[in-house]
Amino acid sequence: MVIPTNFPQRASELRDLINKYNYLYYIIDNPEVPDSEYDRLFHELKQIETDHPELLTADSPTQRVGGKALDKFNQITHAIPMLSLDNVFDTEQLLAFDQRVRDWLNTSESQVYAAEPKLDGLAISLRYEQGVLTQAATRGDGATGEDVTANVRTIPTVPLKLTGNDIPEVVEIRGEIFMPKAGFDTLNQQQIADDKKPFVNPRNAAAGSLRQLDSKITASRPLEIYCYGLGEIQGMNKPDSHSEAMMLISQWGCRISPELKRLTGIDECMEPITHLGARRESLPYDIAGVLCKFDSIQLQQRLGFVSRTPRWAIAHKFPAQEEITIVEDIEIQVGRTGALTPVARLKPVFVGGVTVSNATLHNQDEIERKDVRVGDTVIVRRAGDVIPEVVQVVLSKRPDNTVLFSMPTHCPVCQSEVERIEGEAKARCSGGLYCAAQQKEAIKHFASRKAMDVDGLGDKLVEQLVDEELIADVSDLFQLTLEQLSALERMGEKSAVNLINALQTAKQTTFSRFLFALGIREVGEATARALASHLLTLDVLQQADEETLIEIEDVGPVVAHHIVTFFHQAHNREVIDRLLVAGVNWPEEQKVSSDSMISGKTIVLTGTLEQMSRSEAKDKLLGLGAKVAGSVSKKTDFVVAGRDAGSKLSKAEKLGVSVVDEATMLGWFSL
Ligand code: IVH
């Protein structure tokens, strides 16, 4: 068949255009055309290729959607082996590394390093011939890997064709393929909805997605890449330094880490280590640590390797977020609203920077899904401040004769019957405030910082007071006497006086804190605030019906139902009356002004404030109709930076968000 001459030309134009738009969209995050235009061009190219299959090329963006499934992966021998790195876990070991290498080089001079995050994904080698991606291989055993070209082509941040002029005849670019946390969460929700096994962590999900024989599956997975180095190169001299190599890689249209830094001396490397460590949770992807590499390629070559690890680089690892341990028991915890949560008692293990001996198992369905049993060896995960969680059982280590866990039919604390409402994941104790566990949790919540803020009334003391039958509900707190308190074991005279004073101080509160403190199901801080600012008084709230409540922003039918039910119960009304008689009070609520200059604005507080606590500032900002968020994003209107503000401040500066000081914020309050 004769192909009209304009087809090959048009196909080539379209490929270039689409690859360029891809680059603008995925690599530099700066789209130039609307999606509709992109789609139109894409379809045009697809049509030409369908009509003229001989015009299909390896760098065609249509190949990103995945193609025919393979029956196996071919083996590929790496031209230059893909190595692994030595690890250190603290500053001392890092300094020792630097010293060792300088001794080896016989120099006392500070060395130039390049530092970048050690991404938690899997290594890939991308081979470009005349600028076109021809092969992608996994690391494998370092000498040979697997040919995963069809899969890697589907990853939008991997260029199918390099850009720019100075492109070597052959170049191998190496990088890490990973799955961002958000994509991982969505994928796992989908896996569970489809009755498929969820992935243990983003790294496993990335590895599993890349090792699919059917590239259409890979195409549906949210994979990304950051490139971190060069392998084989032909037709061009090797650059002089790692940072130069990274510049070239970036100019060719590949994505490199925005965190890459060139530093002089190992001391300077501590900065990104501390900084990235502090930001680990808020980064959109998992990192395992920070890599420090000698920047000079000449020095890298001089230093060479010891067995299979280079002498010129080191990984400063962060504490592992996953560890293996043993489930010694499964116990039931009864929460404030009676919800029964099974908790695994673990052989203590150091994970995510702390020693963990309990992990939540959430509910019966989760236990069944994960099939966790007493005696099992499990993988425990603790990332940041989140509650430690059992992610998976190591079945190969399961002892004989383990027993399946099942939820008790009666509350382990008060022996009331356990009920599980259709459609709810949690089983609940039906004992209500008769149940000592629920009493304790309700009182702890009432006294907590964001509720009535009773200084010095910690969890242990609440438990002691309930166990000694000195209190049974929150109103009993205000009847406690100095004699009763001082007679308690482990309680000194002075602490008893302090507590009585703290209770006295706590009586003066705000309507929204009081509402939150009552512990009505599903009424969190924000809902309590919305209720207070719309209904203004307790009387109005107590008489409101569900229809009235639903009108309020933040209140849905379920919450409305919980609120009405709560105030219908005679017991709850009595407790409230006793609290008011005891002197709990708050200033009259003012309608939220919608004309203050910060009304409707999203504000983030960071650093230490001098004139008031952050929680006071938050209350005031909310009172003026602002929203107070915990993290900085493009949607943030202002960041209020106090003393020693850290990563939130840098993020605001990076995103161009307005930063104001405490004095400016005080100005808003006095307007
Ligand atoms: S450079 C000699 N840079 O870590 C090996 N590796 O432990 C030089 N990795 O297999 C590798 N992020 O999969 C390098 N920014 C980064 C990296 C990185 C993650 C992985 C990579 C490698 C492993 C080495």
Tens-digit pLDDT profile for residues 259-280: 999 999 999 999 999 999 999 9
Alpha carbon 260 to chain centroid, angstroms: 22
List, in order of start, the domains of the chain with CATH numbers: 6-63 (1.10.287.610), 76-317 (3.30.470.30), 322-397 (2.40.50.140), 429-581 (1.10.150.20), 602-670 (3.40.50.10190)
85 lines ligand 1 (CB under 6 A): yes
Q: How far is the CA of 381 from the centre of ligand 1 (A)?
A: 23
119 lines ligand 1 (CB under 6 A): yes
Residue ranges in the chain modelled with pLDDT below 70: 1-5, 591-595, 671
123 lines ligand 1 (CB under 6 A): yes
**Residues classed as catalytic:** 118
291 lines ligand 1 (CB under 6 A): yes
Q: How far is the CA of 23 from the centre of ligand 1 (A)?
A: 24
d(CA 74, CA 148): 8
118 lines ligand 1 (CB under 6 A): yes
Q: How far is the CA of 172 from the centre of ligand 1 (A)?
A: 15
Closest CA to 546 of 522, 562, 524: 562
d(CA 444, CA 448): 6
Q: What is the DSSP letter of 595?
A: -
Euclidean distance between the first and final Cα of the chain, in Å?
79
Tokens matching residue 420: 């599980």
Q: How far is the CA of 115 from the centre of ligand 1 (A)?
A: 12
Amino acid (one-letter) located at 455: D
- Ligand 1 atom, smallest distance to 87 CA: 7
Of the residues 291, 307, 309, which should be mutated to test ligand 1's pocket, given the most ligand atoms within 8 Å of the CB? 291
In this structure, how many other beta carbons lie within 10 angstroms of the beta carbon of residue 16?
Answer: 14
Closest CA to 134 of 144, 125, 142, 143: 125
* Residue identifier of the C-alpha nearest atom 23 of ligand 1: 84
In this predicted structure, what is the pLDDT of residue 157?
96
Q: What is the DSSP letter of 518?
A: T
Decide: 150 and 66 in contact? Cβ < 8 Å.
yes
Of the residues 84, 116, 283, 285, which should be mutated to test ligand 1's pocket, given the most ligand atoms within 8 Å of the CB? 84
Decide: 383 and 321 in contact? Cβ < 8 Å.
yes
Decide: 292 and 269 in contact? Cβ < 8 Å.
yes
* Residue identifier of the C-alpha nearest atom 14 of ligand 1: 228
Amino acid (one-letter) located at 96: A
- Ligand 1 atom, smallest distance to 139 CA: 10
Q: How far is the CA of 123 from the centre of ligand 1 (A)?
A: 7
Tokens matching residue 469: 């039958």
Closest CA to 387 of 342, 438, 422: 342
- Ligand 1 atom, smallest distance to 116 CA: 15
Decide: 178 and 201 in contact? Cβ < 8 Å.
no
Q: How far is the CA of 173 from the centre of ligand 1 (A)?
A: 12
Of the residues 78, 80, 85, which should be mutated to test ligand 1's pocket, given the most ligand atoms within 8 Å of the CB? 85
Amino acid (one-letter) located at 55: L
227 lines ligand 1 (CB under 6 A): no
3-state secondary structure 613-627: CHHHHHHHHHHCCCE
| DSSP element (H, E) containing 173 | strand 170-178
Sign of CA dihedral 477, 480, 485, 489: negative
In this predicted structure, what is the pLDDT of residue 520?
93
Beta strands in 29-169 (DSSP E): 75-77, 87-88, 112-119, 122-129, 132-138, 144-146
83 lines ligand 1 (CB under 6 A): yes
Query: Which residues are bridge partners to 138 per DSSP?
Result: 124
d(CA 78, CA 459): 59
Q: Please name the residues in contact with 610: beta carbons below 8 A apart, sequence gap of 6 or more.
A: 642, 643, 662
Count CA atoms closer than 13 A to 498's CA, side-chain side.
Answer: 10
- Ligand 1 atom, smallest distance to 257 CA: 15
229 lines ligand 1 (CB under 6 A): yes
Q: How far is the CA of 654 from the centre of ligand 1 (A)?
A: 27
Q: For the full predicted model, state whether its pTM sits above 0.75.
A: no
3-state secondary structure 337-395: CCEEEEEEEEEEEEECCEEEEEEECCCHHHHHHHCCCCCCEEEEECCCCCCCEEEEECH
**How far is the CA of 436 from the CAs of 336, 340, 415, in angstroms?**
10, 14, 10
Decide: 659 and 638 in contact? Cβ < 8 Å.
yes
In this predicted structure, what is the pLDDT of residue 320?
86
Of the residues 82, 113, 119, which should be mutated to test ligand 1's pocket, given the most ligand atoms within 8 Å of the CB? 119
In this predicted structure, what is the pLDDT of residue 589?
82
d(CA 228, CA 173): 8
d(CA 303, CA 329): 51
d(CA 611, CA 176): 47
d(CA 534, CA 589): 9
Tokens matching residue 305: 């390797």
CA angle 631, 634, 637 (to 5 degrees): 80
139 lines ligand 1 (CB under 6 A): yes
310 lines ligand 1 (CB under 6 A): yes
Q: How far is the CA of 294 from the centre of ligand 1 (A)?
A: 14
Count CA atoms closer than 13 A to 621's CA, side-chain side.
Answer: 27
Sign of CA dihedral 438, 441, 447, 449: negative
Decide: 241 and 179 in contact? Cβ < 8 Å.
no
In this predicted structure, what is the pLDDT of residue 219?
96
In this structure, how many other beta carbons lie within 10 angstroms of the beta carbon of residue 152?
Answer: 25
SS3 528: helix
Q: How far is the CA of 380 from the centre of ligand 1 (A)?
A: 25
